[in-house]
Amino acid sequence: MLLQRLKTTLATTLAVTLLSTVTSAEEVPIFDGKSINNWNVKPTENTDGHWKVEDGVIIAENINEKGSVLWTDREFTNYELELEYQTPSDYYDTGVMLRGDGHQVQIGISGSLKKDMTGCIYAPKDKRGSYPAQTDKIAKVHHVGQWNHLRIVLKDKRIQTFLNGEAFVDYTGIAINDKGPIGLQLHAGHHMLIRFRNLKLKEL
């Protein structure tokens, strides 16, 4: 009888622990599929025609080749972000700014390295090179011109990226901000058209 009670107690404790782990991530609505009301662009940036929403898709285009970043109004610390993006088949250079300026998950061609660095970490502030976390899976996993699924997990200083379900990089930052907004970047210097959809964020 005592053994049975112990087993029941352990099972209950395990269930409660697992439930609390699952529910510890709270989903935060950051994109309603209709507008970018919860987002902003710095007033100093020339953003004529850069950002708009059509049919549940955020469309970014810099016809004037000047860059900008679309920032969330809210600041975040630890989170899991999922989104889908579509790039054209020619030049594109965008990415996700993690906690304000400083650390970014690259999407597309690196302006400095002149090659696709999608899913890698751009963090020159860490002084480990511009891209301190890289992977050799990009050519195999990244589907240029199609919709791709990007997942980013940021916990304290640890950054993990996953592209189309494939684990990409696992990197611990140094000079990463403790808190900041999330940004979608449209790089300057080239005419680019980028699309984002199905943005989902869970605070950890």
pLDDT at residue number 191: 84
Domain 28-203 has CATH 2.60.120.560: yes
Query: pLDDT by residue (tens digit) across 102-113?
Result: 899 999 999 889
Nearest to 196 by CA among 63, 50, 48, 43: 50
What are the extents of the domains in the chain? 28-203
Q: What does the mean pLDDT of the chain come to?
A: 87
Q: What is the pLDDT of residues 109-162, one digit of tens each?
A: 998 899 999 999 999 999 999 999 999 999 999 999 999 999 999 999 999 999
80 against 91, higher pLDDT? 80
Name residue 143's amino acid: H
pLDDT of 87 above 80: yes
| pLDDT higher than threshold 90 for residue 3 | no
Number of C-beta neighbours around residue 69 at 10 A: 27
Residue 65 confidence (pLDDT)? 81
pLDDT, tens only, 171-195: 999 999 999 999 999 888 888 899 9
pLDDT at 66: 83
Rounded to two decimals, what is the model's pTM?
A: 0.85
**Cα-trace Rg, the chain:** 19
- Closest by CA to 179, choosing from 75, 95, 86, is 75
Identify the band that residue 91 occupies on the pLDDT scale cut at 50, 70 and 90: confident
Instruction: Give 47's pLDDT tier (boundaries 50, 70, 90).
Output: low
Instruction: Please give the backbone phi and psi of residue 59, each rounded to the nearest 5 degrees, phi first.
Output: -110, 125
pLDDT for position 46: 56
Give the pLDDT band of residue 20 (cuts 50, 70, 90): very low
pLDDT at 112: 87
For 53-65, the pLDDT digits (tens) are: 999 999 999 888 8
> Tokens at residue 87, please?
């790039």
Are 68 and 186 in contact by the 8 Å Cβ rule? The answer is yes
**Nearest by Cα to 163 from 88, 70, 104, 83:** 83
The pLDDT of residue 14 is 46
